């Protein structure tokens, strides 16, 4: 069965979360592109292969959202997933109308497909324990590294080399 060709609309947040929780490693779909707004010089960037997984060894291209309709036609997109979290109902429906008129399906992913289940017994950046843990670790003279969500805009390899350079000092 052929894979469904998907384009994910977003603003470098929920779109990447939706990709990582539902599409990454899902061989029923092929995410052919992301579109983004409010990010300067987005043209030509990639969601990096290190984050995209084994199904995307070359990464996933990120395009300006102004090219949405053209991308649907040029990339033979079958499904567009709307992945913004802070827009009005009118904006969502306007985008849905544009996508549907271009021949692709329009979709919103729900909680069942995108929720991350946490073990709330540990500290995962929530609640009072997460504020106490860094102080305890600091007082025990241990290093604490805060976790960040993966960002395709950060140059991952230079960060690693910076960390290695700091260890050598």
Cα separation, 123 vs 79, in Å, equals 37
The domain defined by 4-114 folds into Rossmann fold (3.40.50)
CA gap 71, 39 in Å, rounded:
18
Instruction: Supply the pLDDT for residue 140.
Output: 54
Please give the share of the chain, as a percent, with pLDDT higher than 70.
68
pLDDT digits (tens, 9 = 90+) for 109-146: 887 777 776 655 555 555 554 555 555 555 555 554 55
Residue 130 or 108, more confident: 108
In the chain, where the domains are located: 4-114, 127-168
Residue 60 contacts residue 47 (beta carbons within 8 Å): yes
pTM of the model: 0.69
Q: Please report how many Cα atoms fall inside a 13 Å half-sphere around the Cα of residue 93, on the Cβ side.
A: 3
* Angle, alpha carbons 33-104-38 (nearest 5°): 45
Could you tell me which of 89, 99, 30, 29 has the C-alpha nearest to residue 61?
30
Helix H or strand E segment including 106: strand 105-107
pLDDT digits (tens, 9 = 90+) for 31-87: 999 998 777 777 778 989 999 999 999 999 999 889 999 999 999 999 999 988 788
Please name the helix (run of DSSP H) or strand (run of DSSP E) that holds residue 36, with its range, or none: strand 29-36
């Amino acid at each position: 069965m052929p894979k469904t060709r998907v384009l994910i609309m977003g603003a470098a947040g929920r779109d990447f979360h939706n990709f990582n929780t539902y599409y990454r490693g899902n061989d029923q779909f092929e995410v052919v592109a992301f579109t983004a707004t409010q990010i300067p010089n987005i043209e030509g960037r990639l969601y990096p292969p290190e984050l995209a997984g084994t199904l995307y060894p070359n990464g996933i291209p990120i395009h300006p959202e102004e090219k949405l309709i053209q991308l649907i036609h040029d990339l033979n997109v079958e499904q567009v997933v709307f992945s913004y979290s802070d827009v009005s109902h009118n904006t969502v429906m306007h985008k849905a109308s544009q996508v549907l008129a271009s021949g692709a399906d329009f979709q919103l992913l729900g909680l069942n497909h995108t929720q991350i289940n946490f073990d709330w017994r540990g500290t995962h950046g929530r609640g009072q324990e997460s504020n106490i843990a860094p102080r305890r670790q600091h007082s025990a003279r241990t290093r604490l590294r805060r976790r960040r969500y993966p960002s395709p805009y950060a140059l991952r390899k230079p960060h690693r080399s910076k960390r290695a350079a700091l260890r050598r000092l």
